[in-house]
Amino acid sequence: MNNSVKSLLAVLFGLLAGAVLMMLTGHNPIEGYQYLVQGGLKNPERIGNTLATATPLILTGLSVAFAFRTGLFNIGAAGQMLVGGFCATAVGLSLDLPRGMLLPLMVLAGFIGGALWAVVPGFLKARYNVHEVVSTIMMNWIAYWTVYYVIPAYFKGDSVETESRQLPANAMLRESWLSDMFQGSYINLGFFIAVLTVIIVAFLINKTTLGYELKAVGFNRHASEYAGIGVNRSIVLSMFIAGGIAGLAGVAQYTGNASSIQIGILPSQGFDGIAVALLGANAPLGVLASALFFGLLYSGRGFMNAMTDIPPEIADTIIAIIIYFAATSILIERLIRKLRLRRSANKKQED
Amino acid sequence: MKKGVISLISLALSVTMLAGCGSSNTGTEPSGSGSAGEETPKANFKVGMVTDAGTIDDKSFNQGTFEGIVKASEDFGLEHKYLKPGGETEADYTKEITNLYDAGFKFIVTPGFKFETAIFKAQDRYTDAKFVLIDGAPNSGEPGAEPVVKENTVSIFFAEHESGFLAGVAAALHVKEGQAGFIGGLEIPPVQKFNWGFQQGVNYANENLGTNLVINKENVVYQGSFDNVAAGGQLAAQMYNNGVDVIFAAAGGVGVGAITEAKSRAEQGEDIWIIGVDVDQYSDGIYDGDKSVVLTSAVKKIDAAAYDMIKAELDGNFPGGQTITLDAKSDGVGLPEENPNLSEEVLSQVDEVFNKIKSGEVTVSAEQGDLIK
């Protein structure tokens, strides 16, 4: 309850700061926000697009949040997502199976790919105490350049040299009934994968022994060891799961939202995942809500630009401000605590 | 207690101040746009643009296109707007095209081959809108798909090899004896054609105009991105250290890094040059007040292409369904009009070659043949 208040305050402050920025640059903030919301929700197609935009964010946010809960700072969601998406794409392009078999296989490949990419930093942390922030960032670049080499070498597109071949419709998460329901939106099965993952992770963290152990290691490594929890195993396992979830984000992005994988780009959703996790207070349901909010911002932004004179750069800045407030929600907590302390101190003085 | 009151008051003051200046701004703004509207009653369509990867001031593709749109908007009194997509997938591009369409911008210009699949779908979906695709042809993206240009779409290509050819001739004539290098961005057709044209131009000058400019294999490099500024600087440094006198950088932001490296070397008195791409990059290479390290630029007149298409639509002869290649003959490619670093003699020789390309006496191949990379 406290956490959700904090997050809502962060959003409110962010929106207020964005409004001030719009006013300072001579734009009407009410109009701006009105079109922002309309752009994300005006018709079924836009709602579908908002959900689709949010899908990878749900998963990367969940990946970062899960790692946070177990005491690890996973900055490598971008790389894990890229590898996960790459593995799924590779399976989709190489195997010719019926859809009912191919899709689960692709999702599995994506999960395993992302998971293995995160296990390396996990192992280095557990065994040699190498800080995961450094090693996951390095893994991002290894992923970037690996994909950069492998895609043109083995999965090169016909017309464009910087993308893989297009996935056949059979190997994509898009469903025509779903697109029709949302009037031509690019929403796809990835959204259901994301929601399902949120539920599974929430259950895992809150209701199982394994989740308890992983969290315990996050709270205090030495105490957990003393309590008989296999600390090294827990760290590696945490990273495995976190990486796997990020890998699923790659599956959703590259085989659902997009139909091919591009080289030379680290997916921005990987880094946005950190902000999503912070705003969602590292709770699975919080992550779901905050990812949907980010999806709305990203999805509605273009319509706001098109309908008003607010330049795209200002829209980006507004989003950045909201992220900033979300990321510094800990400051808000301190502020509240300080105000409370002062009030009680004042009360005492008056007494 | 007192402190709290003071901070509250100051907060309230600052908020009202901000609100005050905000309202005055919003007050003036509508009247401004209103007066612009009064001047321009005849415009019956609005021009929109979706940017490719990179920013609107990329000194290259986006900027060139947008400058053409801005100029046309001013000349003909049109409303214009650009949107920046959140990513580089077809879905991202389609989303922004839809946003423009929903907001009434029904003449949409998109620069770059990455829009091919998005335009392919948009031209069917929004039949009452017009699309201009620069450097690409709409296609479904499926293996072996044929380009489909519908009645409401124009696809524009440039003969980059001819532009590169002229830059090669100019470089050879200016340096006379030494080494040349090439830095490319991604290994994609437009960049490759610049490279191959450049090599042919240098060879042409060596064979016919008495120069001796050598291009070694190791000095022809594709960096692999359009935005890695630092890598551009490193590649340029490496080439200059190897004795290269002039580098042709067809690489967006990577080229900006190369120009920066060249500038710092020129400031220290080294006699080296760099050749810009897409737009006249002379001003980017300025050091010591008025000198520039940019010898010349291999120009694609993207701005003119965007401008001409808007004009054609106004005149009622939008060349829908066509694929247009702008080359030397149509003055769509070439060197900048002003080349302060090239002597009169060099310029007249380059002009001669340019005319020979126009007349067909000299042909430039768009294929690799036995050229490097």
Residue B49's DSSP bridge partners are B82, B109
Query: For residue A157, what is the nearest residue in chain B, using CA coordinates?
Result: B143
| For residue B142, pLDDT beyond 60 | yes
Of A39, A258, A349, the CB nearest to B99: A39
Contact A26 B29 (CB under 8 A): yes
Measured distance CA(A288)–CA(A322) in Å, rounded: 17
Judge contact between B296 and B198, C-beta under 8 A: no
Mean pLDDT of B259-270: 93
State the amino acid at position B229 in one-letter form.
V
Give A215's Cβ-side CA count (13 Å radius): 15
Judge contact between A27 and A308, C-beta under 8 A: yes
Q: Token pair of B128, please?
A: 């009452």
Contact A305 B83 (CB under 8 A): yes
The pLDDT tens digits of the residues spanning B121-131 come to: 999 999 999 99
Mean pLDDT of B107-120: 91
Measured distance CA(A239)–CA(A47) in Å, rounded: 33
Of A162, A298, A313, the CB nearest to B86: A298
Q: In chain B, count of helices (H) and strands (E)?
A: 10, 14
| Listed ranges A177-186, B238-247, B333-342; the one with the highest mean pLDDT | B238-247
Q: What is the DSSP letter of A156?
A: B
Q: Token pair of A184, please?
A: 């031509």
Put simply, whether B23 touches A (Cβ < 8 Å) is yes
In chain A, which residue ranges form alpha helices assigned H by DSSP? 2-24, 29-41, 44-69, 77-94, 99-128, 132-154, 176-181, 190-207, 209-219, 221-226, 231-252, 269-279, 284-307, 312-327, 329-350
Contact B144 A342 (CB under 8 A): no
Put simply, whether B344 touches A (Cβ < 8 Å) is no
| For residue B38, pLDDT beyond 50 | no
Q: How many CB atoms lie within 10 A of CB A26?
A: 17
Query: For residue B146, what is the nearest residue in chain A, using CA coordinates?
Result: A159
pLDDT cut 70: percent of chain B above it:
88
Mean pLDDT across chain B, nearest whole number? 86
Of B85, B91, B143, the CB nearest to A186: B91
Residue B47: helix, strand or coil by DSSP? Answer: strand
Judge contact between A279 and A7, C-beta under 8 A: yes
Contact A302 B81 (CB under 8 A): no
Contact A298 B116 (CB under 8 A): no
| For residue B43, pLDDT beyond 90 | no
Ramachandran angles phi, psi of B58, nearest 5°: -80, 5
User: Residues in chain A whose beta carbon is closer than 8 A to a beta carbon of chain B?
Assistant: 20, 23-28, 39, 45, 49, 52-53, 148, 158-162, 165-166, 184, 186, 257-260, 262, 264-265, 268, 298-299, 301-303, 305-307, 309, 312-313, 316, 342, 346, 349
Q: Which residues of A touch B184 (CB under 8 A)?
A: none
Ramachandran angles phi, psi of A159, nearest 5°: -95, -35
pTM of the model: 0.81
At what angle are helices B344-359 and B160-175 packed, to 10 degrees? 150
Q: Which residues of B touch A312 (CB under 8 A)?
A: 82-84
Name the band, by pLDDT with cuts 50, 70 and 90, for residue B40.
very low
pLDDT given at position B151: 92
| For residue B35, pLDDT beyond 60 | no
Measured distance CA(A180)–CA(B182) in Å, rounded: 49
Is the pLDDT higher at B17 or at B366?
Answer: B366
* Mean pLDDT in order along chain A per 10 residues (351 residues): 76 86 89 91 92 96 95 94 96 92 96 96 93 94 93 78 84 89 90 96 94 91 90 94 97 93 88 90 92 91 88 76 74 80 83 70
The pLDDT tens digits of the residues spanning B63-95 come to: 889 999 999 999 999 999 999 888 888 889 999
The pLDDT tens digits of the residues spanning A146-190 come to: 998 999 888 887 656 678 888 888 899 998 898 888 888 889 999
Contacts of B209 (CB under 8 A, 6+ apart): B169, B172, B173, B349
Is the pLDDT higher at A8 or at B341?
Answer: B341
Name the band, by pLDDT with cuts 50, 70 and 90, for residue B25.
very low
Locus of tokens 């590259």: A254
pLDDT given at position B33: 38
SS (H, E, C) B275-317: EEEECCCHHHHEECCCEECEEEEEEECHHHHHHHHHHHHHCCC
Judge contact between B258 and B305, C-beta under 8 A: no
Q: Which residues of A touch B186 (CB under 8 A)?
A: 161-162, 264
pLDDT given at position A7: 82
Mean pLDDT of B231-250: 95
pLDDT given at position B20: 40
Closest CA to B296 of B257, B253, B343: B343
End-to-end CA gap in chain B = 75
pLDDT given at position B17: 43
CA distance A236 to chain B (A): 32
pLDDT given at position B113: 85
pLDDT given at position A14: 84
| For residue B14, pLDDT beyond 80 | no
Going along chain B from its start, the domains and CATH numbers come out as: 8-159+302-326 (3.40.50.2300), 160-299+333-359 (3.40.50.2300)
Mean pLDDT of B312-340: 91
